[in-house]
Structures are given as structure tokens and as C-alpha cells.
């Protein structure tokens, strides 16, 4: 019993001595503990700041990735449409050339046939002209001559009728071919204009694609640099705290104290004390934590029971804004329907779920009146008829047209 009582008194004396040594810790130890508390508070703030910056940069980087993916899709779609339109344009050009060649062949065939009919009329008119006007005393011979002249006249009339039918058929066929050539040329011009507009749109989209990829590359670099800076800053804060802890340990040992003689503050983890102050855009959020162990006089004090950090990584939605329309361009065709173009620029891109941008280009039909068809062909046909037939028929009065 005596030994137990002595042991208890010794333990209590040791505790009182330890408390006395802790309270008598030099001011340098308390200052070291203050620095350790400051380093820990800085580290806590740095962790949340780096997390917030990482969220912001990640959000911007993901938006840039979506923009690049969308532009890649646009370029692919435009390129596919442009390839199809270019092939169709080439096909139409071949069709136009083929129809022009066919029209030329038909025109030469019609002229050749007309020349052959004119030569037949010339020959018949020549043979009839030899007999016309001759005085024949013999009535029998005169009747025979008259019969021959009637036969020649009938043949000439038949050739003229055939010539009129053939000329009408040729003119109708040539008008049809000319109309088809005109329609094909119109489609070719229209498609060529569309190809040029597609190429222009491709150039604009490719320029936007290059710019978006540049932004994405920059965002990758910023994200990597920010992460590296945060890691370096956190490492420096931890090393500074560790160095100050070692320095405080030396001060404690110099004062005849041990690490167990000093009680540092122990706190719980931060928890949210409410949500972000804003629904979108930059805001703040309050965090709080509890003190689990209160410090001794020379221990690391309790700091930052509450902490206000940044929040709100998504920008507020904003609608796309477009500039005014330009004037209409010159019509692409003088008649039979051309096209006009006008454009406008994007003055402000949409943000988030804002209203997307509307069309940048607008097309309308112009000069709808049909181009004159057949006028020149009819005039040429009449001139050909007169230049070929009139000299042949002038010397043979019995022929009527």
C-alpha cells in the first residue's frame, strides 16, 4: 500500500512538472506554432483554390473539345456535300457538251438534207426550164411537153412539201435540243454557284476549326501548367510546414520539453455550409469544420473554422447575337432564274444553353423571267430558206410555194 501511494504521488508530480514545462515553453516555440498554423491555413486555401481553378479550366477545355468536334463534323459534312456537288457539276458539264455536240450534228444533218433537197429542186427546175417557153408546131409534141412540165412541177411541189415538213421537224427538234441545253446550262451554272458557296463556307469553317484547335491546344497547356503550379505550391507549403515542425522540435528539446508536452489543435474536415451563392457564373461557398482537440498554450492554434471558397464553374447562358444582313449580291443569271446571296456575321457566340446562332447565309431566286427561246433559230431558218430557195424559184414561174 505504501509503495502504491508513493507511485501515485510520483505520477502526479510528473504531470504537474510537465504542465509547468509546457506553460513555461519559450516564446520562440509559440511563434513556431503560429507559423505552422499559418502554413496549414494557406495549404487549406490553396487546395480549394486549385480545385476551383481545375474545374474552371476543365470546363473550358471540355467546351473547346466539343467545339472542335462539332467543327470537325461540319468540315466533314461540307466536304462530303462539296465532293458530291463537284461530281454532279462535272457530270452536268459533260451532259451540256454532249447535247451541244448532238445539236451541232443535227444542225449539220438538217442543212445537208436541205442542201440535197435544194439541189433536187435546182435540177428539176433546170430540166423544166429547158422546155418552158419553147414553140412546138406539132400539137402532139406540145401536149407531151406540157405533160412533162406538169410532171416536173408536181415533183418540185412534192420536194418543196417534203422540204417544209423536214424543215419544220428539224426546227422543232433543234428547239427541243436547244431548250434542253439551256436547262442543263442553267442547272450547271446554278450548281457551280452552289459549289463556290460551299467552298466559301468550307474556307470559313476550316478557319474556325484551326482557331478552335489553337484554343484547345492552349487550354491543354494552361491545364497542365496550372496543375504543375498547384502541385509545386502545395509541395512548397508542406515542406515549409515540415521544416517549421522540425525547428519547433529543436526548440522544445532545447527547453527540456518533448513533442508530447505540446498539444496541437486538431480539427475535422471541412463540410459545406450551404450551396453556391449563384446559379451560374463566379460565386462563393462557405465551408465549416469543428475543433476536435483544443491546443495548449504553445501548441498550433486553431484557425479557419470557416472558409469561403470560389464556386460556379459554368458561365451563365447567353444567346447568340447576329449582325445585320448585307446587301443582296448581283444576280447569278440575267434570266430564267438566278440566285442572290446575302450574309451576316456572328457578333457574339452563344454560351452554355443559350439560343444557337441562326443562318449566316441567305439565298433567294432572282430574274425569274424565262430567257427568249427559238427567236434566233427561227430567224436563221427563214434566212436559209430564202437564200437557198428564192434563186431557184425565181426563174420558174409555174412553181408556187
Look at 196 and 239; give whichever has higher pLDDT: 239
pLDDT of residue 167: 84
> Is residue 144 predicted with pLDDT exceeding 80?
no
According to the per-residue pLDDT averaged within each range, which of 255-264, 267-276, 371-380 is highest? 267-276
Quote the CA–CA distance of 54 and 60 in Å, as a whole number: 10
Quote the CA–CA distance of 36 and 1 in Å, as a whole number: 47
Look at 3 and 219; give whichever has higher pLDDT: 219
pLDDT tier at 62, thresholds 50, 70, 90: confident
pLDDT tier at 246, thresholds 50, 70, 90: very high
Look at 9 and 289; give whichever has higher pLDDT: 289
Mean pLDDT of 9-32: 59
User: What is the chain's mean pLDDT, rounded?
Assistant: 80
- The answer to whether the CB of 174 falls within 8 A of the CB of 65 is no
pLDDT tier at 145, thresholds 50, 70, 90: low
Quote the CA–CA distance of 32 and 55 in Å, as a whole number: 35
Strands 338-343 and 306-311: unpaired
Look at 398 and 139; give whichever has higher pLDDT: 139
pLDDT tier at 347, thresholds 50, 70, 90: confident
Q: In 255-275, where does DSSP find H-type helix? A: none
Mean pLDDT of 187-198: 83
Mean pLDDT of 240-250: 93
Cell of 33: 506554432
H-helix or E-strand containing 306?
strand 306-311
pLDDT of residue 291: 94
Quote the CA–CA distance of 66 and 59 in Å, as a whole number: 11
pLDDT of residue 1: 47
Look at 284 and 19; give whichever has higher pLDDT: 284
pLDDT of residue 220: 94
According to the per-residue pLDDT averaged within each range, which of 172-176, 291-295, 385-389 is highest? 291-295
Among 118-127, 245-254, 389-398, the minimum mean pLDDT is found in: 389-398
Mean pLDDT of 332-346: 81
Q: Which of 319, 309, 313, 308 is nearest to 281 (CA)?
A: 313
Q: Which of 178, 180, 174 is nearest to 113 (CA)?
A: 174
pLDDT digits (tens, 9 = 90+) for 102-117: 888 888 888 888 888 8
Q: Which residue has the cell 417544209?
A: 164
> Is residue 181 predicted with pLDDT exceeding 50?
yes
Mean pLDDT of 37-47: 91
pLDDT tier at 287, thresholds 50, 70, 90: very high
Mean pLDDT of 111-127: 82
**CA-based Rg of the chain, rounded to a whole angstrom?**
51
Q: Phi and psi at residue 164, in whole multiples of 5°?
A: -65, -45
Mean pLDDT of 306-326: 86
pLDDT of residue 22: 46
pLDDT digits (tens, 9 = 90+) for 149-177: 778 788 888 888 888 888 888 888 888 88
Quote the CA–CA distance of 381 and 1 in Å, as a whole number: 148
pLDDT of residue 128: 62
3-state helix, strand, coil in the chain (%, to 5): 65, 10, 25
How far the first Cα of the chain sits from its last, in Å, is 162
Among 11-25, 137-151, 266-280, 289-303, the minimum mean pLDDT is found in: 11-25
pLDDT of residue 300: 93
pLDDT of residue 248: 92
Mean pLDDT of 50-66: 88
Amino acid at each position: 500500500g505504501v509503495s502504491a501511494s508513493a507511485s501515485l504521488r510520483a505520477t502526479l508530480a510528473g504531470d504537474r512538472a510537465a504542465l509547468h514545462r509546457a506553460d513555461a515553453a519559450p516564446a520562440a516555440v509559440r511563434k513556431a506554432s503560429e507559423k505552422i498554423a499559418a502554413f496549414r491555413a494557406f495549404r487549406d486555401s490553396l487546395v480549394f483554390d486549385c480545385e476551383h481553378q481545375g474545374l474552371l479550366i476543365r470546363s473550358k477545355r471540355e467546351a473547346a473539345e466539343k467545339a472542335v468536334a462539332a467543327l470537325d463534323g461540319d468540315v466533314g459534312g461540307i466536304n462530303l456535300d462539296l465532293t458530291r456537288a463537284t461530281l454532279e457539276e462535272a457530270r452536268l458539264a459533260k451532259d451540256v457538251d454532249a447535247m451541244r455536240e448532238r445539236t451541232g450534228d443535227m444542225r449539220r444533218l438538217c442543212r445537208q438534207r436541205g442542201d440535197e433537197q435544194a439541189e433536187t429542186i435546182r435540177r428539176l427546175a433546170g430540166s423544166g426550164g429547158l422546155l418552158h417557153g419553147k414553140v412546138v408546131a406539132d400539137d402532139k409534141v406540145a401536149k407531151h411537153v406540157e405533160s412533162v412540165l406538169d410532171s416536173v412541177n408536181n415533183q418540185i411541189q412534192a420536194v418543196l412539201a417534203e422540204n417544209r415538213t423536214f424543215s419544220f421537224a428539224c426546227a422543232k427538234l433543234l428547239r427541243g435540243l436547244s431548250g434542253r441545253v439551256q436547262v442543263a446550262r442553267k442547272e450547271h451554272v446554278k450548281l457551280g454557284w452552289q459549289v463556290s458557296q460551299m467552298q466559301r463556307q468550307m474556307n470559313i469553317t476550316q478557319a474556325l476549326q484551326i482557331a478552335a484547335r489553337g484554343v484547345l491546344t492552349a487550354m491543354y497547356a494552361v491545364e497542365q501548367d496550372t496543375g504543375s503550379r498547384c502541385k509545386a505550391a502545395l509541395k512548397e507549403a508542406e515542406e515549409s510546414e515540415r521544416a517549421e515542425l522540425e525547428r519547433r522540435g529543436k526548440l522544445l528539446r532545447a527547453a527540456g520539453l518533448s513533442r508530447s508536452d505540446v498539444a496541437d489543435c486538431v480539427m475535422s474536415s471541412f463540410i459545406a455550409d450551404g450551396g453556391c451563392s449563384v446559379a451560374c457564373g463566379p460565386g462563393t461557398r462557405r465551408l465549416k469544420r469543428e475543433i476536435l482537440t483544443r491546443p495548449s498554450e504553445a501548441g498550433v492554434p486553431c484557425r479557419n473554422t470557416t472558409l469561403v471558397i470560389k464556386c460556379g464553374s459554368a458561365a451563365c447562358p447567353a444567346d447568340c447575337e447576329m449582325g445585320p444582313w448585307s446587301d443582296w449580291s448581283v444576280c447569278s443569271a440575267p434570266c430564267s432564274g438566278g440566285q442572290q446571296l446575302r450574309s451576316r456575321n456572328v457578333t457574339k457566340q452563344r454560351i452554355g444553353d443559350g439560343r444557337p446562332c441562326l443562318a449566316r447565309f441567305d439565298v433567294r431566286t432572282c430574274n425569274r423571267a424565262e430567257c427568249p427561246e427559238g427567236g434566233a433559230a427561227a430567224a436563221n431558218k427563214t434566212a436559209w430558206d430564202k437564200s437557198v430557195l428564192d434563186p431557184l424559184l425565181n426563174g420558174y414561174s409555174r412553181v408556187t410555194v
